[in-house]
Structure formats: C-alpha cells, structure tokens
Amino acid sequence: MLSPKIHADRRARLAAAVNGPILLMGSGDRPRNLPMSTVAFRQDSSFLYFTGCTHSGAALTIVDGRSTLYLPEPADDDALWHGASRTIAELGETLGFERVRPSGTLEADVADLDDIATIAIPDLAQTQRASQMTNCPLRFGQDNGDDRLISAIIQMRRLLSEAELEEMRATAQITRTAHLAAMAATRPGAHEREIAAAFQHEVSRAGLSLAYPSIVTVRGEVLHNFEYVNTLSDGQLLLLDGGAEAASGYATDVTRTWPVSGRFSDRQRAAYDAVLAAQLASIELVRAGTRYRDVHTKSSHILATFLSDEGLLRCDADAAVETGAHALFFPHGVGHLIGLDVHDLENFGDRAAYPAGRQRSTQFGTGYLRLDLDLEPGMVVTVEPGFYVVPAILDDPQLRAQFSSLVDFERAAEWAGFGGIRIEDDVAVTSGDPEVLTEAIPKAPDELCAAVGS
Ligand code: GLY
Ligand code: MN
Ligand code: MN
C-alpha cells in the first residue's frame, strides 16, 4: 500500500498546479437492487490517487493548500449491523489527514468559496452534488470538469513513480499465478466458466479483486466477450484476458491464448508465432521518445506480412498498412495507458492519450488506437496485438466492397471458426530498456503448452 505521505505530497503538488479551491468527490455505494444490497464498491481513481481513501461517500477539499477529508458518520445502528466502526477522526488520522469533517457539512463548508475546481466521477449522485456546489455542469465522460484540474490530474497520474510500479509488479505476480491456474485447469470437456473460476480463485485467494471482468473464451474473435457459455473442445484455442487489481487500486491487464489440448495445429502455430513476433517487436519500441502510434504500426506491419504470406491479403505489407487492409484481421489498437484504471484516464476521453494536434485516425481499425503520445519514462502501456477471424467483419458488405482488391475473402472463408489470438503484456517505459511487468506469465509456445492441463 502507498503511504499517507505519498498522498499528502500529491495533494501539495495538485494545489500548486491549480490556482484556487479544489473539490474532489469520492464514489458512493450503488444499490444493486435494494438499498442495502450494493454493487462491489470501487473508489474513483482520482480520489483514490489523492487520498488513499477507500470509504464510500467521501469528499476532499483543498483550500489555500489545506486539505480536509469529508467522511460519512456511522449511523446509530451501524455497530449492530456492520460491527463496531472507528470514528471519522480515527479513519482520517490513519489516512494522514489533520482535518476531518462529516460529509453532511460539505455543502455548507464550501458555500462561500468562489471558482471551485472539480471533476465528474463515475458516481452520478456524487457528481450531481459537485455540480450543484460549483455551479458547473458535469457529466461523467462528457463534461468532465475544470480544465486546469483535469490537466494537473492527467500530468500527475500519467507518470507512475517507483512506488506505484512496485504495486503493479506485486500485482503482476498474482496475475501470473491466476493465469497459470487457468492454463492448468484447461482440458477438453472443461467449461469456460470453470477456467474463469480457476483464474478468479487465485486472485480472490490473494485478497485482491479483478481489475475488470475476465474474458475467457474459445470465441476470441469477439473482442469483448464476457459470456462463459462454451465447453472447450480439442482443437480450439482459449483466449484469457484477465488481470488482478492491487488493494491500492493499480490494475494489470494480461492476455494469453493457448490450445485447449496443449498442442497447436500448424495453422494455429503459424498465427500464434506471427502475433508473438509482432508483440515482441512492438515491446522493443516501448522506449522514451517513441511515438506510440509507431508501436501500433510495427505490430500492424508484422501481422500484415503474415496475412500476405498466408494469401489472406492480395497485397504486400506496406500496401496493407497504408490502406488498412490488415485491420480486417487486427481490428483494434495495440494498447493503452494502464495505471489505477485498466484503461487509465479514459474517463477524460482522449485528453490524456492524444496530445494537442493529434487526432484519431479515420481508417478502419487504426481509428480504435487509444493512445498516440510520445512515450516518457514512468508511463505504463499495454502491448496487445492480435489476429482474429471475425464474421462480423468478413461478412460485412461495405468492408467487402471497400477491400475487394486487397483482401482474399474466399481464402478468409477457409479460416472460418478459427477464433482469435491476442497476446498482451503491461510494459513500463524507463530511461533505458522497456520493463515488461507481466513477463513471467508464459507466452513462448513450448512453455505455454507445458502449462496447459498440467
Ligand atoms: N482487457 C481490456 C483490454 O485489453 O483493453
Ligand atoms: Mn488492454
Ligand atoms: Mn486486456
């Protein structure tokens, strides 16, 4: 866990960057059906970053450099239903706050402040309170709040310190154990649910939670496939995209794809080798000063060469990458920022990931590239190329017409039912070589196959 001093230093930096009073709301509890039955609580990541506070319904003000933490006071019968709780003063002290006030006093406390900077958070009710207190229209993911505050948060959160990287390294160990357990549980006749459970078991056993719902599927071509409905068969590939989240909130995001039987067919092995070659070459580029789009293009080029060699494309790799033809088989971006959020800072739209003067490509596939910064030491990104045979793409009349001279759709039809392969790691940019935080999770074919059903 990060120390209270780290959070206090962050607040001091934030106060120095934003000239004026700051209000940050924490997330509240969200009913799942009844008021007492709530969805699993997750603190807003910016609030967590500046407070370390994982209690629901909290808020923070920073006025003239002085921080005040607002916490809900326990109800009279809380001790009966939830056990004895500490006072808000005790909780605040543990988090390193000198001033702690009951949440209910927040509106009155800020009533006389002008020009309060705030942001929208994923909690609608708390965002609405912030909107009313600041007279600022806020909508999560759209009208995100005060420009100076958002810029300062992005600048700070985007570069991870050594202490934050340590959190991610430790979490990557648990993610490794979970991936190994999922590989070991894989056999023909097992169900996707079983493999998902084997993965989650290791994460829960370590006292952690999932950073996002795991993707565990033999239909890896469905990019965000959160259903577990299939029984595994000999000859299929299983794709598992899953990661643990640290108690401090830092995410990991790792994909491995392995044969259900522990043996690749020749065709599967050729495609796997191409994806792995693309991933390794892209990771090599994760260095200070590299434009992230070039990391994407490197993978695109290597995959396009494979597609051309297999006769799936009627053009060479250069022509494919220029026209976007390769993207019919690699239809997403090669990665994104990762930190406290699995797609870090994407609640602020493209603001954290596309610098001024760079916009998303209008080309099919490359338009989904989530990141186009010049990389700096401290940034952590994913590198996750893939190869997919997607009926929704290959049967699409518009794409077929657009790419008729570049893609051999008849040859592609011979690959129907192949599924998808993605290989994903989390990579820290350093002043030297890239640091692959998740590299201990097997991906070399022999090591990977040895772990299946073991
Ligand atoms: N797990 C979602 C992603 O890889 O971006
Ligand atoms: Mn990812
Ligand atoms: Mn992923």
Q: Which residues contact 205 (CB under 8 A, 6 or more apart)?
A: none
Which element (helix H / strand E) includes 355?
none
Q: Which of the listed residues 424, 425, 427, 438 should we mutate to test ligand 1's pocket, taking the one with most ligand atoms within 8 A of CB?
A: 424
Ligand 3 centroid–CA 426 distance in Å is 9
SS3 42: coil
Atom index in ligand 1 nearest the CA of residue 343 equals 5
Residues 239 and 255: their CA atoms lie apart, in Å, by 7
What pLDDT, on the 0 to 100 scale, is given for residue 122?
96
Ligand 2 centroid–CA 255 distance in Å is 8
Q: What is the dihedral of CA 441, 446, 449, 454, to 10 degrees?
A: -80
- For ligand 1, say whether the CB of 384 is within 6 Å of any of its atoms: yes
Ligand 1 centroid–CA 253 distance in Å is 6
Q: Which of the listed residues 179, 216, 255 should we mutate to test ligand 1's pocket, taking the one with most ligand atoms within 8 A of CB?
A: 255
Closest of 271, 385, 284, 281 to residue 335, by C-alpha: 385
Ligand 1 centroid–CA 360 distance in Å is 19
Q: Specify the pTM.
A: 0.97
Ligand 2 centroid–CA 383 distance in Å is 7
Could you say which ligand is closest to the alpha carbon of residue 255? 3
Atom index in ligand 1 nearest the CA of residue 215 equals 1
Supply the residue whose CA is at minimum distance from atom 3 of ligand 1: 253
Paired sense of beta strands 100-102 and 66-71, if any: parallel
Give the CA angle between residues 19, 156, 4 to the nearest 5°. 90
Structural tokens at position 73: 């006071």
Q: Is the dihedral of CA 285, 286, 292, 295 positive or negative?
A: positive
Atom index in ligand 1 nearest the CA of residue 424 equals 4
Q: Which of the listed residues 210, 212, 341 should we mutate to test ligand 1's pocket, taking the one with most ligand atoms within 8 A of CB?
A: 212
- For ligand 1, say whether the CB of 212 is within 6 Å of any of its atoms: yes
- For ligand 1, say whether the CB of 253 is within 6 Å of any of its atoms: yes
Q: Going residue by residue through the chain, which has 454 residues, state the pLDDT in tens, using 9 for 90 and above.
A: 899 999 999 999 999 999 999 999 999 999 999 988 999 999 999 999 999 999 999 999 999 999 999 999 998 888 888 888 899 999 999 999 999 999 999 999 999 999 999 999 999 999 999 999 999 999 998 889 999 999 999 999 999 999 999 999 999 999 999 999 999 999 999 999 999 999 999 999 999 999 999 999 999 999 998 999 999 999 999 999 999 999 999 999 999 999 999 999 999 999 999 999 999 999 999 999 999 999 999 999 999 999 999 999 999 999 999 999 999 999 999 999 999 999 999 999 999 999 999 999 999 999 999 999 999 999 999 999 999 999 999 999 999 999 999 999 999 999 999 999 999 999 999 999 999 999 999 999 999 999 999 8
Ligand 1 centroid–CA 94 distance in Å is 34
Q: Residue by residue, what is the 3-state secondary structure of 303-315?
A: HHHHHHHCCCECC
Structural tokens at position 122: 């994923």
Ligand 3 centroid–CA 55 distance in Å is 28
Cα distances (angstroms) measured from residue 127 to each of 27, 28, 40, 140, 273:
9, 10, 19, 8, 47
Atom index in ligand 1 nearest the CA of residue 253 equals 1
Ligand 1 centroid–CA 288 distance in Å is 23
- For ligand 1, say whether the CB of 425 is within 6 Å of any of its atoms: no
Contact call for residues 411 and 392 (beta carbons, < 8 A): no
